[in-house]
Amino acid sequence: MQVGIAHAVGGLLFILLIAGGAFSVGSKWSHEESHTASAASTQEEEGAVASSTEEDSSETAAQRELYDVVKVIDGDTITIKLGEKNETIRLIGLDTPETNDPRTGVQCFGKEATAKLKSVIGKRVAIEKDAGEGERDKYDRLLAYVYSEEGLLVNKYLIEQGYAYEYTYDDPYKYQKEFKAAQVDAKAKQRGLWAPNACPEPKKAAPATKASVQTAAAAVVVPEVKPEPENKVEEKKPEPEPEKPKEEPKQKEPEPEPEDEEEQPSGSYTCSSNKYNCTHFKTQAEAQEVFDQCGGADNDVHKLDNNKDGEACESLP
């Protein structure tokens, strides 16, 4: 009888152990399935967000208004047809070598930068302004990022291809971080103007030394002076010619009166007609004063600002 009871208790314990193991395994499977389902849901949400971002970016690019390109002035300045008038656009965040500035002349890689801009900009562009940079610069040019019709950000492209320098004028701008990184990459890969010997520095004349001065002095040939012979035959002096009758002095013709000198600009300036040009001024500051007092670019009657950049007689010191 005792043996039977022992067998019964052992059987009951065995059944309880089997049931407990099954419950533990089932809980583990349930937890893993829940975790897998949660991860899949997170991935779907991230994919949906990324897809939404791409769609928003695509819609933004498609919604940009396109404007006709009138002229490419140089590597960082263009003119577009904006409404009923032409507007000059200065590209934000970059600077290219000059091609039209009389103060510097054509700088190295200036022509290449202008040609590159012409090749990528196309016939129509979109523009994006930056509130942090203001609407216009001191020359009244619109400040903007320029996109080609295909959506290429031209400002950044010129920097990363080595045709322009990253340029922060005063305050940080929207794409400053990306533009600076583009310049680091172009410089590291020696693209464009960063290539070896792309813009070699002009050779400087070696300073004069004592040895070089002595060498130059030794090279000067002094002609030899031969002594005259002692037994020199005395030359006969020519007989004096008879004096000619003195002619009466002719009356001097009256000298022409000097013409009035050209009017020099003074404290008060004539702004109603073309009175002066750049040769009337000794400095650029004097010419700029006349230019500004006569109304600047809106009334440049004296033609002191030929390139229309707001600065008069830039060739003067």
* Residue range 220-272, pLDDT digits in tens: 555 565 655 555 555 556 666 666 666 555 555 555 544 444 444 545 677 77
The one catalytic residue among 64, 98, 178, 191: 98
98 is catalytic: yes
Q: CA–CA separation, 85 vs 79, rounded Å?
A: 10
Dihedral sign (CA 279, 283, 288, 293)? negative
Which comes out higher in pLDDT, residue 47 or 209?
209
Hunting for tokens 């009657």 — which residue is that? 301
243 is catalytic: no
The one catalytic residue among 112, 133, 141, 166: 141
Burial of 205: CB neighbours in 10 Å, binned 0-12, 13-18, 19+: exposed
Structure tokens at 132: 């942090």
Q: How high does pLDDT run on average in the chain?
A: 74
What is the distance of C-alpha 238 from the center of its chain?
81
Q: Dihedrals φ, ψ of 218, to 5°?
A: -70, -25
The one catalytic residue among 87, 90, 160, 166: 90
235 is catalytic: no
153: helix, coil or strand?
Answer: strand
Give pLDDT tens digits for 193-213.
999 988 876 555 455 565 555
Q: What is the pLDDT of residue 198?
A: 82
Is pTM, for the whole model, over 0.85? no
